A = this chain, B = another copy of it.
Amino acid sequence: MDLKTIGEFGLIERLKAGAIVVPDKVIMGIGDDAAVLKGEGGYLTLASTDMLVEDIHFTLATATAREIGYKTMAVNVSDIAAMGGIPEQALVSLGLRPEQPVDFVDELYAGLRECGQRFGVNIIGGDTVSSPRAMVINLAILGRVEEGACLYRSGARPGDVLLVTGDLGGSAAGLDTLLSPRPAPPEAVAFARERHFRPTPRVTEIRAALPAGGITAADDISDGLVAEIYTLAQASGVGIILEAAAVPIAPATRQLAAIYQKDPLDYALYGGEDFELLLTCRPDKVAAVQEAIARACQTPVTPIGNVVPATEGITIIIDGKRLPLNPGGYNHFQ
């Protein structure tokens, strides 16, 4: 049996066994956006890591060193946001080709620092090694969240409303403009590429929303909305009804979908890498959450569905019909 057969998620299940040998401080190990440890002064410690490999997660043909650096930090900050937390410290490992110019690394670090500064994340350490065949960047991030405020994927309950921040599909549209450039309105291309290269992890949004109360679960959308809906539903033991017509898609994303002859909903549901937050919220608190976020920033928060009992399954309403939601999204090794 090889990794292609078992897939990323099958592998993760195997890796959990026996991983915790001293459980005292561990509240959550493998299995959410970040690990959760007992912390200090009323806070829990959050820890997460992400590895980006050349020509799998980025390519030098389309991304600058600065963009790669920025996105690496953003992806990790997003994991902390998905727990309701404040990102704080990062460790950066770089595997670089010996012949890479120093300028390249300076720019990569400038991108890491730019995003780090924006979200208050220090780079406190790292490792720098030779990797002749493919560049690799690994970031490990630490953060904190108030005890009792930590958001897990497993907290959704039937009756909750499904919310999403921002809009979806922009990153996937941006990737299309990079991989096969076609004549397109420059503003639409710029919008989508910004979404692709410089996603905004939703720290401000979730931190503003928490005091309103009522948020029961959170996950960040890295592998696509549908993949994260499945992840959240399975972790919570619930079903989901997704309203296709409610999924927020930016006009620029729709424009590009038309040019690339794709369904904009495909971008939004299966594209991935939007790094928006998927939230579940008690129905009586939705308005308060939306208002709290609106007071803090411009990011919209849109109800896109409902949490239902697990027996109802995971479905989508399109054109008034309720259909099984086709799973999908990006699965490493497949």
User: How many copies of this chain?
Assistant: 2
User: At the interface, yes or no: A321 with Cβ under 8 Å from chain B?
Assistant: no
Stretch from A136-144, A180-188, A237-245 at the B interface: A136-144
Say whether A89 faces chain B, with CB atoms less than 8 Å apart.
Answer: yes
Across the interface, which residues of B come within 8 angstroms of A99, CB to CB?
2-4
Q: List, in ascending order, chain B residues with CB within 8 A of A92's CB.
A: 49
CB distance A21 to B117 under 8 Å?
Answer: yes
A320 interface residue per 8 A CB criterion: no
> Once bound together, how far apart are the Cα atoms of A236 and B175, in whole Å?
49
Q: Which of A1-57 contact B (CB under 8 A)?
A: 1-6, 8, 11-12, 14-15, 18-23, 25-26, 29-30, 34-35, 37, 39-41, 47-53, 55-57
- Judging by beta carbons under 8 Å apart, are A2 and B106 in contact? no
Determine which residue in A106, A117, A129, A332 has the highest number of CB atoms from chain B within 10 A of its CB, and name it.
A129
B122–A29 touching, CB < 8 Å: yes
Q: Is A126 an interface residue (CB 8 A)?
A: yes
Find chain B residues with CB under 8 A from A35 CB. 89, 91, 124-125
Complex interface: chain B residues within 8 A of A106 (CB): 14
A52-100, CB < 8 A from B: 52-53, 55-57, 88-89, 91-100
Structural contact, B332 and A29, CB atoms closer than 8 A? no
Q: Given the complex, which residues of B lie within 8 Å of A142, measured CB to CB?
A: 47, 142
CB-CB under 8 A for A48 and B125, given A113-B19, A140-B91: yes
Residues on the B chain within 8 Å of A126, using CB: 15, 30, 49
Q: Which residue of B lies closest to A109 (CB)?
A: B15
Q: Which residue of B lies closest to A21 (CB)?
A: B117
B134 touches A49 (CB 8 A): no
Q: At the interface, yes or no: A116 with Cβ under 8 Å from chain B?
A: yes
Q: Check B3 against A89 for contact (C-beta < 8 Å).
A: no
Chain B residue contacts of A22, Cβ below 8 A:
88, 120-122
Q: CB within 8 Å of B: which residues of A?
A: 1-6, 8, 11-12, 14-15, 18-23, 25-26, 29-30, 34-35, 37, 39-41, 47-53, 55-57, 88-89, 91-103, 105-106, 109, 113, 116-117, 120-134, 136, 138, 140, 142, 332-334
What are 12 A-B contacts with C-beta separation under 8 Å?
A8-B128, A15-B126, A18-B113, A20-B122, A25-B89, A29-B122, A47-B91, A49-B92, A49-B126, A51-B93, A98-B333, A134-B134
Q: What 4 pairs between A and B have smallest CB-CB spacing?
A: A40-B40, A140-B140, A35-B124, A138-B138
